[in-house]
């Protein structure tokens, strides 16, 4: 039985009178892949930011390898420890990469921060090779790379600290379909090689179907359905999950009917 690497327990987050995250709990196993799906405003990205530590929950706990990482008084050492355990890949890698810093140097900066005594040159080469890049890309600035290459760099930088969990927030949404497939295949290979756990945040049920073992469906900050991905997508029990599936464009798709059904929920 695989160990639980990440556990969220009763997470709450509110902005004024809006409950962005309302009593959200889940577990992610070592080497597992969990999807959190929902429309914009469902609370999925806020949940991800709480897990990574970019936002603080108003209530609840985040445990990594059984250790509570939700202490609101954390200092620099605690932040660095959490960063070595959980990393995040964002939708737009261009915004998360320094446009003035070559790719190889960006990776070395991360390594110097977390592993000052390591052989950084060798490790940079390993990371680039792991994501299908090489010496030419190491010397390039982000603007000189394609969108898919930039996302590979973002993944390499996240993997540099050897995290137990990688949170991917709409990480392939900005890429065209062919490049999406390449990145998803790359992530599948990395998971098989490293036993890293993935937390996928997405609105794309196609991505969920391809790369996750289990899925959580969120609406208005709450979990409305969860379970093995294959079962949830094949036989959804909640009306909102069925609506999400019906919203996927296909021949005969009726967007006006879908909008009316959404308002009725």
- 43 and 21 Cβ atoms separated by less than 8 Å: yes
pLDDT of 177 reads 85
Integer angstrom CA distances of residue 74 from 58, 64, 133: 15, 15, 36
| DSSP structure string for 177-237 | HHHHHHHHHHHHHHHHHH--EEEEEES-HHHHHHH-SEEEEEETTEEEEEEEHHHHHHS--
The separation between CA 122 and the C-alpha centre of its own chain, rounded to angstroms, equals 27
Domains of the chain: 4-234 (3.40.50.300), 235-265 (no CATH)
| DSSP structure string for 37-65 | E--TTSSHHHHHHHHHTSS--SEEEEEET
CA–CA separation, 244 and 222 (whole Å): 15
**What is the chain's pLDDT, residue by residue, as a tens digit (265 residues)?**
789 999 999 999 998 888 999 999 999 999 999 999 998 889 999 999 999 988 999 999 999 999 888 765 567 777 777 788 999 998 887 788 899 999 999 999 999 988 887 789 999 999 999 999 999 999 999 999 999 999 999 999 999 999 999 999 988 887 888 888 899 999 999 999 888 999 999 988 888 998 999 999 999 999 999 999 999 999 999 999 998 888 765 444 444 443 444 444 5
Integer angstrom CA distances of residue 9 from 26, 56, 153, 198: 7, 14, 32, 18
Q: Categorise residue 181: left if φ over 0, alpha if ψ from -120 to 50, beta otherwise.
A: alpha
**Helical axes 120-130 vs 103-114, angle rounded to 10°:** 120
pLDDT of 235 reads 93
The tokens 């969220």 sit on which residue?
Answer: 8
> Considering just the CA atoms, what is the radius of gyration of the chain in Å?
19
The residues pairing with 15 across neighbouring beta strands, listed in sequence order, are: 18
Contacts of 239 (CB under 8 A, 6+ apart): 265
Contacts of 41 (CB under 8 A, 6+ apart): 220
CA–CA separation, 173 and 158 (whole Å): 18
pTM of the model: 0.88
């Amino acid at each position: 039985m695989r160990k639980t690497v990440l556990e969220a327990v009763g997470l709450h987050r509110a902005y004024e009178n809006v409950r962005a995250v309302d009593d959200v709990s889940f577990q992610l196993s070592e080497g597992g892949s969990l999807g959190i799906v929902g429309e914009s405003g469902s609370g999925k990205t806020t949940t991800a930011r709480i897990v990574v530590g970019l936002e603080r929950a108003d209530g609840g706990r985040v445990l990594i390898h059984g250790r509570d990482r939700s202490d609101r008084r954390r200092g620099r050492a605690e932040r660095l420890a959490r960063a070595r355990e959980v990393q995040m890949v964002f939708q737009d890698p261009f915004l998360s990469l320094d446009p003035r810093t070559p790719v190889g140097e960006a990776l070395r900066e991360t390594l110097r921060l977390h592993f000052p005594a390591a052989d950084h040159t060798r490790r940079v080469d390993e990371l680039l090779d792991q994501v299908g890049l090489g010496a030419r890309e190491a010397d390039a600035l982000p603007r000189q790379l394609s969108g898919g290459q930039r996302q590979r760099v973002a993944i390499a930088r996240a993997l540099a600290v050897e995290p137990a969990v990688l949170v991917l927030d709409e990480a392939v949404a900005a890429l065209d379909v062919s490049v999406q497939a390449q990145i998803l295949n790359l992530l599948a290979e990395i998971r098989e090689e490293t036993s890293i756990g993935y937390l996928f945040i997405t609105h794309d049920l196609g991505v969920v179907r391809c790369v996750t073992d289990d899925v959580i469906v969120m609406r208005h900050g709450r979990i409305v359905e969860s379970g093995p991905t294959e079962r949830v997508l094949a036989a959804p029990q909640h009306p909102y999950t069925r609506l999400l599936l019906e919203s996927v464009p296909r021949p005969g798709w009726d967007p006006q009917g879908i909008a009316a059904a959404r308002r009725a929920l």
